[in-house]
Amino acid sequence: MSRGGPLAGVRVVDLSRAMAGPYATLMLGDAGADVIKVERPDTGDDTRSWGPPFVDDGDRSHSAYFLSVNRNKRSISLDLKDPDDLVVLGELIESADVLVENFRPGVMDRLGFGHETLRERNPQLVQLSITGFGHGGPEGHRAGFDQIVQGEGGLMSITGQRGDQPTKVGVPIADILAGMFGAFGVVSALQERDRTGRGQTVRTSLLAGMVAVHTFQGTRWLVAGEEPRASGNHHPLIAPYGAFECADGSINIAVGSEGLWQRFAPLVALDPQDVRFATNRDRVERTTELAEAMAPALQSADAATWVARLEEEGIPAGRIRTISETYASAQVAHLGLIDEVAHPTLGALQLPSAPVAFGEGHAGDSTHPPLLGEHSEEILAELGRRAAGQEVGGTAE
């Protein structure tokens, strides 16, 4: 199956479940790869049962969580405890360019598909393995659930209000980042394969993703010896940069340079040369005092007035929207960030769309998140198994 796109013709066998691996294969599928999602009979991916919310079609309930990251994939149902189904899986892997799995270390070996075995069976295969805490080491055996790794990876300690409880990010960001880095590793390995003709194993983990995105918060500790702490809705190293109250609600303002400060200060009745706030370092050291000095002016007008006034002066500013307001945004519509797909039982279904747009080589319209085992017969036929009457573990829902 090909929808066009930069990865058209690349076959991905996806043994992953939940979020990290499926997010990686979502990205590959959005770029045109043929993603074959291998699922357990009867239950499928764990996230098929995660909710509410569920969407009912009259016969069954569909998890909104599952629907969010499984577009542009085909589903085959295989029982990995059944020797016959493992034979089918082996044939699928031999036909693939990429294999993605997020089992605990050692599971693939027990199934008979360890890295060396796979290299022998398909030397051109790119293998992506995503774990919670990495491969090997004193904690490599640990199961990796998103919030556990947000905590262990330091992210919760720098998220939330000042002096408040550590706070998780509102989406499974450790999973998502591991998936994104995994997808990056896959396309890098495919590019190298074009030169060498050989595949390789790509490894990443939720913990590695957390550490990678520490960026300046990491170097605050590693380079400067300063322990980062949560700074609420204000940037820890730039001021004023954060959420501020207007007459009817809050807006975000980002004064990210001294030039912007020179233009911004008079708008809130401050002298840009005021010795208390003359440099960014001064302002960061006096963020509370600065916010109090800005408050009378900001609270004299509503949010819409302030956003317009600030944008007119070239000061970055914006509303703080709800999810529903974001999806109603004209800019979101202009960018095509909502897909409408035809689901076989739910009808027209709106989903978040791919964030990357390709010019030439654009992938075709998105396909619906698959029913469990929906494409089993189709995929078996591609392996030449239909005529032989082969059956695999389960049928479409």
- pLDDT for 344-360, tens place per residue? 999 999 999 999 988 76
Lowest mean pLDDT among 93-102, 144-153, 380-389: 380-389
Give the pLDDT of residue 363. Answer: 67
Q: What is the chain's percent helix, strand, coil content, to nearest 5?
A: 35, 15, 45
For domain 11-213+331-382, the CATH class is: alpha beta
CATH of domain 241-320: 3.30.1540.10
H-type alpha helices, 97-144: 107-110, 115-121
Lowest mean pLDDT among 41-45, 162-166, 241-245, 310-314: 162-166
- Is the pLDDT at 38 greater than 70? The verdict is yes
- What confidence category does residue 169 fall into, taking pLDDT thresholds of 50, 70 and 90? very high
CA–CA–CA angle 45, 143, 207 (5° rounding): 105
Mean pLDDT estimate for the chain: 92
Q: For the segment 281-315, what is each residue's pLDDT rounded down to a tens digit?
A: 999 999 999 999 999 999 999 999 999 999 999 99
Give the pLDDT of residue 1. Answer: 61
- Is the pLDDT at 4 greater than 90? The verdict is no
- Is the pLDDT at 35 greater than 60? The verdict is yes
Residues 242, 254: Cα–Cα separation, whole Å: 6
> Please, where in the chain does CATH 3.30.1540.10 lie?
241-320
Strand pairing category for 34-39 and 11-14: parallel
Instruction: List the end-to-end C-alpha distance of the chain, in Å, as a whole number.
Output: 21
Per-residue pLDDT, averaged over 34-39, amounts to 97
* Structure-block tokens of residue 118: 């796979």
Q: Which residues of 216-243 are buried (b: 16+ CB within 10 A; e: fewer)?
A: ebeebeeeeeeebebbbebbbebbbbbe
- Is the pLDDT at 193 greater than 80? The verdict is yes
Give the pLDDT of residue 163. Answer: 77
> Please, where in the chain does CATH 3.40.50.10540 lie?
11-213+331-382
Q: For the segment 100-144, what is each residue's pLDDT rounded down to a tens digit?
A: 999 988 899 999 999 889 999 999 999 999 999 999 999 888 888
Contact predicate 236/226, CB 8 Å: no
Give the pLDDT of residue 390. Answer: 46
- Is the pLDDT at 254 greater than 70? The verdict is yes
Give the pLDDT of residue 387. Answer: 34
Active site residues: 175
Determine the residue type at 246.
C
Contact predicate 88/113, CB 8 Å: no
